[in-house]
Amino acid sequence: MRMRAAVLEEFGEPLAVQEVELAEPRAGEVLVRLHACGVCHTDLYTASGADPSGYAPAVLGHEGAGVVETVGTDVASLAPGDHVVTLFSPQCRECVHCLDPRTNLCMAIREEQNKGHLPDGTTRISRDGEGVRHFMGCSTFAEYTVMPEIALAKVSPDAPFEHACLFACGLSTGLGAAINTAAVRPGSSCAVFGAGMVGLGAVAGCRLQGAERIICVDLSPQRLELARGQGATDLVEGGEGAVERILELTGGFGADYTFEATGNVAVMREAVEAARMGWGLCTVAGVAGRGETLDVVPRLLITGRRIAGSSFGGVKGRDQVPALVDRYLAGEIDLEPFVSHRLALDEVNRGFELMEAQDGIRSVIEFS
Ligand SMILES: NC(=O)c1ccc[n+]([C@@H]2O[C@H](COP(=O)([O-])OP(=O)(O)OC[C@H]3O[C@@H](n4cnc5c(N)ncnc54)[C@H](O)[C@@H]3O)[C@@H](O)[C@H]2O)c1
Ligand SMILES: [Zn+2]
Ligand SMILES: [Zn+2]
Asked if 198 and 286 touch (Cβ cutoff 8 Å), the reply is yes
- Active site residue: 37, 42, 143, 260, which one? 42
Q: CA of 107: how far to CAs of 21, 93, 94, 263, 284, in Å? A: 29, 10, 9, 24, 22
Distance of CA 337 to the CA centre of its chain: 17
Q: Atom of ligand 1 at shortest distance to CA of 263?
A: 41
Indicate if 117 belongs to the active site.
no
- Active site residue: 92, 138, 165, 216, which one? 92
Q: CA of 173: how far to CAs of 244, 309, 348, in Å? A: 27, 11, 23
Q: Atom of ligand 1 at shortest distance to CA of 267?
A: 31
Indicate if 92 belongs to the active site.
yes
Our answer on whether the CB atom of 314 is closer than 6 Å to any ligand 1 atom is: no
Q: What local confidence, expressed as pLDDT, does residue 186 receive?
A: 98
Q: State how far the Cα of 113 lies from the Cα of 106, in Å rounded to an integer.
A: 12
Asked if 169 and 94 touch (Cβ cutoff 8 Å), the reply is no
Whole-model pTM: value is 0.97
Q: State how far the Cα of 182 lies from the Cα of 26, in Å rounded to an integer.
A: 39
Q: What local confidence, expressed as pLDDT, does residue 368 receive?
A: 78
**Strand pairing category for 83-86 and 152-155:** antiparallel
Q: Atom of ligand 1 at shortest distance to CA of 287?
A: 41
Indicate if 98 belongs to the active site.
yes
Map residue 130 onto helix, strand or coil. Answer: strand
Residues whose CB falls within 8 Å of the CB of residue 327, separated by 6 or more in sequence, listed in order: 208, 333
Our answer on whether the CB atom of 260 is closer than 6 Å to any ligand 1 atom is: no
Q: Could you report the average pLDDT of every consecutive run of 10 residues in the chain (368 residues)?
A: 97 97 98 98 93 93 98 98 98 98 96 96 96 97 98 98 98 98 98 98 98 98 97 97 98 98 97 98 94 96 97 98 98 97 98 95 95
Q: What local confidence, expressed as pLDDT, does residue 260 receive?
A: 98
Nearest CA owner, ligand 1 atom 11: 286
Q: State how far the Cα of 182 lies from the Cα of 202, in Å rounded to an integer.
A: 10
C-alpha Rg value of the chain to the nearest Å: 20
Our answer on whether the CB atom of 218 is closer than 6 Å to any ligand 1 atom is: yes
